[in-house]
Amino acid sequence: MRALPLVVWLLAACGGTTVAPDAPVDAPLLPTSNAAREIVDTRLAFDVTALTGAATITFGPSSDPGATLEVGDLAIDSVKLAGADLAFTAATARLDLALPASDQTIAVDVAYHYKIHESQGASTGGYTLIWPYYCGNLFPCHSRPDDGTTFTLDITGVPAGKTAVFPPSIPAEAPSYQLAWSIDDYAELALGTTTAGTQVSIWHHGPELAAAQQGGAHLVAAFDWLEQTLGPYRFGNKVGTVSVKWPAGAFGGMEHHPRWHVAAAALRDEETNVHEAAHGWFGDGIRIQCWEDFVLSEGTVSYLAGRALEVVAPDVGAAVWDSYATRLTSFGGTAKVWPRSCGAIDILDDDLFTTAPYMRGAFFYRALALKVGADKVDQVLATFYAAHAGKAATMDDMLATIQSVTGYDPTACAATWLTSTTRPVPGPCP
């Protein structure tokens, strides 16, 4: 904490006559907790050799003083407001600031050092991974999934012979876990451009060219279908997969749009590439309100990966749904899918991060498509995206949209697939 001088009252005496004290000066602002003060923009610059970061955090208006940031184990070097030192306290992974209440935005500059964290921040492997709530190990942030901010990112100190792949900006509101970089010996495979003009690439390691070609065989067509069916992509005009050397045994990917990460072991898998691409609409383009709404992100994009591929490459799509059917039998019927609460679940400690939300979520939409038609489900998802893009939403919001668009009440179908304690058999909604 940087202490400010105490306010004193000045008393003067002259010729034995007491002079009235000056009016008291307003007490200085003290660091105050205010986690509700939203972050509207985050500008970051990192030196990955020195392990230093500089963040300009712009807060939204607030009728209450103070502001709070999550800072993990960052070592805070300075906090400044308009170039002057700002009083702060840094303790228990939290940074409280002495900001005044204001009806305007306020930008604060934070300089700091960060540490290496293999799966909860910046890794020695050159990549970052901060999902679900470890952003504070990399930059001052809010980790709540409903909280959205725009980003700019600059990286220096990249070792010779390496390439840093990262988005210079994320121009639309994004959850904190969306930001990422990867630094390695990359080559870029340009796959093509969508109807809307979005360039799609895969950044791969030299020996992975064949895997990149296989995994990206229908990625442009699938991304084009997502744009044309759901609505405009929000995070820039150049996107793609980045192959990342996660630890041995890791498979899958992470929704770091517009440069989403895919484990090197999964690079040739088309469903993984399209799944991560679809997060540009659900999970990133639309944030989830609570971790309990995890199925709105993962179940929806699992369905969209299967749906997009069955449209643009029917044989591949059919194989995806066959693989989903196999995965559906890999977990018990009591696995959590959609807990009916908000803020009561820790996604890692309360067994929500499993295969269940992915597969039961996908088959919920599949059952709905068999009931009302796949084109009608496309319309539901497009309507939902138009209403909630750039904001947070819930699975309850999705059920309401389904009924509004189709006229079908999905309550019973949702109970079967998302909240029941028995594993359903794939088929149409009742």
**CA 164 to the chain's CA centroid:** 20
Q: Look up residue 14 and give its two tokens.
A: 């002259």
Using the structure block, give the residue that is written with the tokens 């369905």.
Answer: 303
Sole residue written with tokens 């001088």: 5
Mean of pLDDT values over 29-41 = 97
What is residue 26's predicted lDDT score, i.e. its pLDDT?
65
Which segment of 2-16, 96-110, 171-185 scores lowest on mean pLDDT?
A: 2-16
Looking at the predicted structure, is the pLDDT value of residue 344 above 90? yes
| pLDDT score at 333 | 85
Token pair in block for residue 159: 């070792």
Q: Where are the domains of the chain?
A: 1-175, 185-280, 289-419
CA distance 23 to 3: 23
Q: Is there a contact between 300 and 377 (Cβ–Cβ < 8 Å)?
A: no
Relative to beta strand 121-122, strand 67-70 is: unpaired
Least confidently predicted of 19-33, 59-73, 167-181, 414-428: 19-33
Q: Tell me which residue has tokens 């643009």.
A: 312
Q: Which H/E stretch holds residue 156?
A: strand 149-156
Q: If you average pLDDT over residues 152-175, what whole number do you get?
A: 98
What's the CATH number for 1-175? 2.60.40.1730
Reading phi first (left if > 0) and then psi (alpha if -120 to 50, else beta), residue 172 is in beta
Question: Residue 359: is its pLDDT beyond 50?
Answer: yes
pLDDT tens digit sequence for 268-305: 999 999 999 999 999 999 999 999 999 999 999 999 99
Is 263:244 a contact under the CB 8 Å cutoff? yes
> Tell me: the pLDDT tens digits for 99-125?
999 999 999 999 999 999 998 999 999
φ, ψ of residue 355 in degrees (nearest 5): -70, -25
Residue 96, strand partner residues: 89
By residue count, the chain amounts to 430
In 3D space, the residue among 224, 198, 217, 220 whose CA is nearest the CA of residue 267 turns out to be: 217
Domain 289-419: which CATH number of 3.90.700.10, 1.10.390.10, 3.40.980.10, 1.20.1270.10 = 1.10.390.10
pLDDT, tens only, 310-338: 999 999 999 999 999 999 999 888 999 99
State how far the Cα of 79 lies from the Cα of 109, in Å rounded to an integer. 6
Which one-letter DSSP state was computed for residue 292? Answer: G
Q: What is the CATH number of domain 185-280?
A: 3.30.2010.30
Angstrom distance (rounded) from CA 37 to CA 61: 7
Burial class for 65, CB neighbours closer than 10 Å (0-12, 13-18, 19+): middle
Quickly list H helices, 259-313: 270-278, 294-312
Label residue 358 by pLDDT band (50, 70, 90). Answer: very high
The answer to whether 58 and 150 are in contact (CB under 8 A) is: no
Average pLDDT over residues 201-212: 98
CA distances from 210 to 188, 251, 405 (A): 13, 18, 43
Mean pLDDT in residue range 42-48? 98
